[in-house]
Amino acid sequence: MRWEAIIEPNQEGVKQLQQQLGVTAVVAKLLAQRGIEDFDTAKHFFRPQWKHLHDPFLMRDMDKAVARIEQAWERQENIMVYGDYDVDGTTSVALMTSYLKETTTKVTPYIPDRYTEGYGISYRGIDKAEEEGISLIIALDCGIKAVEKVAYAKAKGIDFIICDHHLPGAELPDAVAVLDPKRSDCSYPFDELCGCGIGFKLIQALHQKQGKSDDTLYPYLDLVATAIAADIVPMVGENRSLCYFGVKQLREAPRLGIKGFIEQLKKPLTVTDLVFKVAPRINAAGRMDHALTAAQLLLSDSPTNVKTIGEAIENFNTERRATDERITKEALAQIEERGEENHPATVVFHDDWHKGVLGIVASRLTETHYRPTVVLTRSGENYVGSVRSVKGFNVYEALDACSEYMIQFGGHKYAAGLTLAGTQLDDFKQAFEKAVASRILPEQKEAVLKYDLSIDINAVDHKLYRIVEQMAPFGPQNMRPVFHSANCYDSGESRVVGKDQSHLRLSVATKKGKLVGIGFGLAEHYQAIQSGAPFELLYTLDENEWNGNISLQLRIKDIKF
C-alpha cells in the first residue's frame, strides 16, 4: 500500500495552540489536523457536554412527530416501532420501544425478515400492523424512499413517522412527519446522525415537551453509541458527543443485554470494541436468523432471558464467521477463474450464497482487490446483493447511473444494497463496470495508508499514549492517530507468532530500552527485520495487558525497508 502523510497544519496555528494549551508540538499538530484552533474548541473537543447537543426541534417535522405521538398516547392507540435488521436498526427499535413503554403498553417492535421481506418498509409489515389494530408506525433507519408503501398504509388508516438518515429521493413519502437531516429543506445543524441518533432526537424532543430532565435520558445512550460505532458515521459534532456519553454509560451501567458482551472484554470498553466485538454479535441474529432476537436481547431486563438469547446469538455469530469465510474464498476463486483481477469493478454472484453475509464478503473482497464491489445471491426470481466502495469513490452515484438494470437500490456513498431481476444480471454487470470506469480517479484505484505525523521512535511513551486516549472516541474524521517513524531497528527479540505463524511480534530498540509492537499478517517482514537493516513503521499506540501487567504497545499497520 502507498503511504501518504495527512497535510501538515498551519505552523503558526500550531504554535498558538502550543502556547494556549501548554502542550507539545506533536499534540498541537494532532489537534490542528482535527480542526481545533483555540482553547475553546479544544475544551469542547476534550470535554463534551450535554449543552453541546442541538435542540431537537430544529429538525424539520419534529413538532409534527411529537404531536402525533402525544395524540397516540392520549387515544391509547397501538404503535408499531419498525426498524431495519442491522445494528443501527435493531438498536433504534430497542431505543424507541423501551422509551415508549415508559408511557404506554401498546407498543409492538417489528423488524422485517431479511430473506422474505428484504430491506426497509414491507407490505407484510404494514399488513401485520393492520391485523393488530395499529394506527401509527414509527419507522427508524429506513423509510425515506418508501413512497408507495407509506401510501398503502395511509389507505388502511395507518400513519407513519419516518426517522431516517439515508439520502431522500425526488419525492418524500406522505407521512405525518419525515425526520431526516439530509432533507434539502431541513436546516438542522448536523446531518450525519445515524438512524438511532435520529430516534434519540425524537425521544429527546418528547422528553422536553413533557418538561422532564435530560438527565434521565442517559440510560438510552448505550444504544446510540453502539449504533454510531457500528454504522461508521463521522465521529464529529453531535455524533462524537453522543458517543462520548454513550461509551461512559456502557462502561458504568450498560443494559443487561449488552453487559454480557462487555464483560468478555476484561478491560474498559472502547469504540473499537463496539465495532469489532459488540456490533457483530448484535448483527449476527439478523444475518443468520431474525434481527428481532437481537432487539429482544436489548430490551430484556430478565437475567434468564438475556442468558438464553445471548447464548443463541453467540452461536449465530460463530456460524456467521464460518459462513463468510467460506463464501469469501469462493468469491476470490471466482474472480481468479474469470481473470477479472484487473477489471474496474468486482461483481460476483452465486445462487446459493447466504444473503446475510454478503456485505461482509463485499468488504473483504474490497480489501483484497481494491475496487468497488458487488456481491449477489439469488432470492426467488431475483438477485439481491450488497455493495462496498473504496476510499473517495461514490458507489451510490455509480449505481444510480445503471438504475435501469435494477428493481431497487439504496444506501450511502460507500455502502449500498440492491435487487435486480435474474435476467438483468449480465446487463447490470456491464453497466456497473462501465459506470465505475468512467468515474473512478487513478488515485482511487490504489489502497492508501494515511498517517498523521512523523515522529522519532524515542518520543513514544506512556504520556503520549494517555494524551492520545483523551482524543477518543475515535471514528471517521477523528481517527486514532497514526504515527510514522523512520530509522527503526530490531532489538534482537522480534519473532513470528500466531497459530499459522502469520503475525509479527516486533521489538524495536529505543534509547530507553525497547518498544514492543504487534503486526497482524506482517510475518513476511521477519527475515528482513532480523538482518539488522533499518526500517520504517506506521503504527498506532495501544496498551497490552498480560498477567496483570500493562505495557505500552505499538499496533503496527505496515513496515517498509
Q: If you average pLDDT over every residue of the chain, what do you get?
A: 95
Task: Judge contact between 543 and 551, C-beta under 8 A.
Answer: yes
Please state the pTM of the whole predicted model. Answer: 0.91
**CATH class, 340-445 region:** alpha beta
Residue 125 and residue 227: Cα distance in Å, rounded?
23
Tens digit of each residue's pLDDT (9 = 90 or more) over 494-514: 999 999 999 999 999 999 899
Domains 2-47+449-560 and 56-311 share a fold: no
Residue 432 and residue 437: Cα distance in Å, rounded?
8
Task: Judge contact between 207 and 102, C-beta under 8 A.
Answer: no
Return the pLDDT at 32. 94
How many Cα neighbours within 13 Å face the side chain of 59? 31
DSSP annotation of 523 reads G
Task: Judge contact between 231 and 207, C-beta under 8 A.
Answer: no
Tens digit of each residue's pLDDT (9 = 90 or more) over 189-217: 999 999 999 999 999 999 999 999 988 99
Return the pLDDT at 167. 87
- At 8, give phi and psi (nearest 5°): -65, 135
Question: What secondary structure does DSSP assign to 405-451, as a single string?
Answer: G-SEEEE-SSEEEEEEEGGGHHHHHHHHHHHHHHH--GGGGS-EEEE
Helices 195-209/237-252 angle, 10° precision? 80
329-343: average pLDDT = 93
Element (H, E) at 138: strand 134-140
Residue in the structure block whose three cell numbers are 401509527: 136
For the chain, give every domain's residue range.
Answer: 2-47+449-560, 56-311, 340-445
Tens digit of each residue's pLDDT (9 = 90 or more) over 436-490: 999 999 999 999 999 999 999 999 999 999 999 999 999 999 999 999 999 999 9
Residue 154 and residue 548: Cα distance in Å, rounded?
61
Return the pLDDT at 193. 98
Residue 357 and residue 351: Cα distance in Å, rounded?
14
Asked if pLDDT for residue 547 goes beyond 90, the answer is no
Asked if pLDDT for residue 341 goes beyond 90, the answer is no
CATH 3.40.50.150 for the 56-311 domain, yes or no: no
Q: What is the dihedral of CA 491, 495, 498, 503, to 10 degrees?
A: 70
Tens digit of each residue's pLDDT (9 = 90 or more) over 392-410: 999 999 999 999 999 999 8
β-bridge mates for residue 482, sequence order: none
Task: Judge contact between 306 and 94, C-beta under 8 A.
Answer: no
How many Cα neighbours within 13 Å face the side chain of 413? 9
Return the pLDDT at 49. 94
How far from the centroid of its chain's Cα atoms is residue 357's Cα? Answer: 16
CATH architecture of 2-47+449-560: Beta Barrel (2.40)
How far from the centroid of its chain's Cα atoms is residue 135's Cα? Answer: 32
Tens digit of each residue's pLDDT (9 = 90 or more) over 423-437: 999 999 999 999 999
